[in-house]
Amino acid sequence: MDKKPIDKGLLLDSLLETSPDWIYFKDLHHRFVLVSRTKARTLRKSPEGLLGKTDCDFYPEDIAEESRKDDQWVLDNEEPIITKEEKVPDPGGGRSWVSTTKAPRYDRSGNLAGTLGISRDITERKDQEVKLESVQALAREIKLTNTRRELHKLV
C-alpha cells in the first residue's frame, strides 16, 4: 500500500466545510480566526466575514458576555469547558439549544494562542425533554387525582 503523507490542512478544510456542528477558533482577544461553514451560515455570514469579529458583533450583550467569560476562563485556566448546554439565538429570531465544548489552543511553540470550540445543536433533544417533563407531571397529577377519589370512597 502506498503511504502518502496526510494533508492535515485538507482534512481541516473538509471538516470545516462539511460538519453540521459549529467549529470555531479564536485568538487571545476572542476574535474569530477560523470558522466552519455551518457556524457562519448560522450567523448569516461567510466564514471569511467572521474573521476578526467577536461574539459581540453578532449576539445580544448577555449571550456575547457569557461566551467571552467562558473563553477567558479557558484562557486563564488552560482547561476545557466540556458540553456546556446553553440557549442561543437562531437565525429565525427564536432560540436554539447548543452543547458547547471550548478548549485552549496553542501555537507550534507551545504558547497559548487562543481557544477552539465546537457547538452542537441539541434543540430537538431539549424539546423532547420538556415534553417528557410535561407528560410526567400530567401522570403525577392523574395519579394524585385517582388517589383522592379512592380516599373519598373510603370516607
pLDDT band at 15 (very low <50, low <70, confident <90, very high): very high
Q: Identify the helix (H) or strand (E) that includes residue 10.
A: helix 8-18
pLDDT digits (tens, 9 = 90+) for 120-144: 999 888 788 777 777 777 777 777 7
Cell of 89: 439565538
Sheet strand arrangement including 32-35:
32-35, 22-27, 112-121, 95-106, 81-89
pTM of the shown model: 0.80
Residues in the chain, overall count: 155
Looking from the CA of 124 toward its CB, the CA atoms found within 13 Å total 2
Q: What is the number of H-type helices and E-type strands within the chain?
A: 5, 5
